[in-house]
Amino acid sequence: KINLSGRDFIELSDYTTEEIQYLIDLAVEIKTKHKKGEVYHPLKGKTVGLIFEKSSTRTRVSFEVGTYQLGGHALFLSKNDIQLGRGETIADTAAVMSRYLDGIMIRTFGHENVVELARYSSVPVINGLSDLAHPCQVLADLQTIYEYKGALKGLKLAYIGDGNNMAHSLMIGCAKLGVHISVASPEGYEPDAKITAEAQQIAKATGAVIEVIRDPKAAARQADVIYTDVWASMGFEEEQKAREAAFADYQVNEELVQHAKPDYLFMHCLPAHRGEEVSEGVIDGKNSIIFDQAENRLHAQKALMAALIG
Ligand code: CP
Ligand code: NVA
């Protein structure tokens, strides 16, 4: 009874708990089909455009490969190679691309660019990362946790570090699925207060506890999942030095993970900086599931494209 055909995917807050669970279930099903070698072509004859204003390894490759595996065709469109990079408006780009394409993914700086593209586009628009949100990553992450733990509701996720796009989408995704989330960030690097309030509002319906605190040990306490991300995201490279100082006490290392449950999962959206936000021992240790996470970008986004565009 869930029909997501024609919808945009800008942030998880636009989707109900049931719709997100539906996408996770579909991702698991599509993954199983793929591993068995079954052909599944809901995007046959369809074309998806992938607009990139920032670098990418996982998002680009998983969307290109995923579209192909679904029977469709993907176009990689670097912002600098299309007229958008020379000042053609987002509105005109959206209108023109809607005449050719069946779906558009965009990775950009300002979140308002994603919103604007979706507004003027008549085909589904997928947010492939903005400064504010990274919902595709969190969809894959929720799928990954679900596969490992068999359930989501009632688990505790600790996010240690920068209150960035990952922190935001994790808070929203956890709130929607009933996962408690404790975010520990240094002063001045907390998540956006509006997003925190929004996540707390959403969590009222699912019973999730959403907290933003200072102490990484308190956040990690009894956690089922420990998650971190780089200290300086794309677009913040010039702040690297200042951030290294601010985040010095926020490394996920052998000492910090002692506070989590013994069977905790370590997660990172990647790319990672070993020795900065996470020690080598933790990211390459037995509790780390970073490559399962990365793989699930493929399956989760295939589910998303099949549901929205297929
Ligand atoms: N996690 C993620 O989105 O990676 P890329 O920047 O390589 O796409
Ligand atoms: N927070 C990181 C995530 C990269 C996938 C960034 O925006 O650069």
125 vs 6: CA distance, rounded Å: 9
Atom 7 in ligand 1: residue holding the nearest Cα: 57
Q: Are residues 202 and 75 in the same domain?
A: no
Query: Is there a domain that residue 2 lies in?
Result: no
Q: Are residues 78 and 161 in the same domain?
A: no
Q: Are residues 112 and 146 in the same domain?
A: no
Q: Are residues 209 and 247 in the same domain?
A: yes
Q: Which atom of ligand 2 is nearest to the CA of 234?
A: 8
Q: What ipTM, to 2 d.p.?
A: 0.99
Number of structural domains the chain divides into: 2
Closest CA to 22 of 187, 146, 116, 205: 146
Query: Is there a domain that residue 31 lies in?
Result: yes
Q: Are 253 and 211 in contact (CB under 8 A)?
A: no
Closest CA to 107 of 94, 86, 126, 84: 126
Indicate if ligand 1 lies below 6 Å from the C-beta of 130.
Answer: no
CATH number at residue 100: 3.40.50.1370
Give the residue numbers annotated as catalytic, written as ranges.
107, 134, 137, 229, 269, 297
293 vs 144: CA distance, rounded Å: 6
Q: Are residues 269 and 127 in the same domain?
A: no
Q: What is the pLDDT of residues 147-169, one digit of tens each?
A: 999 999 999 999 999 999 999 99
Q: What is the pLDDT of residues 3-48, one digit of tens each?
A: 999 999 999 999 999 999 999 999 999 999 999 999 999 999 999 9
Q: What is the pLDDT of residues 171-226, one digit of tens each?
A: 999 999 999 999 999 999 999 999 999 999 999 999 999 999 999 999 999 999 99
Pocket of ligand 2 (CB under 6 A): 129, 164-166, 229-230, 233-234, 269
Query: Is there a domain that residue 210 lies in?
Result: yes
Alpha helices per DSSP H over the chain: 17-35, 58-69, 90-100, 111-120, 135-149, 165-177, 193-203, 216-220, 240-246, 254-257, 280-283, 290-308
CA of 50 to the centre of ligand 2 (A): 17
Q: Are residues 121 and 237 in the same domain?
A: no
What is the rounded average pLDDT of the residues 114-124? 98
Q: Which atom of ligand 1 is nearest to the CA of 234?
A: 6
Pocket of ligand 2, candidates 54, 56, 165, 247: which has the most ligand atoms within 8 Å of its Cβ, to mutate?
165
Owner of token pair 């719709």: 19
Q: Are residues 196 and 152 in the same domain?
A: yes
Indicate if ligand 1 lies below 6 Å from the C-beta of 122.
Answer: no
CA of 271 to the centre of ligand 2 (A): 8
Q: Is residue 135 a known part of a binding site?
A: yes
Q: How far is CA 25 from the centre of its chain?
A: 17
* Owning domain of residue 56: 12-133+297-308
The amino acid at residue 12 is: L
Pocket of ligand 2, candidates 55, 137, 164: which has the most ligand atoms within 8 Å of its Cβ, to mutate?
164
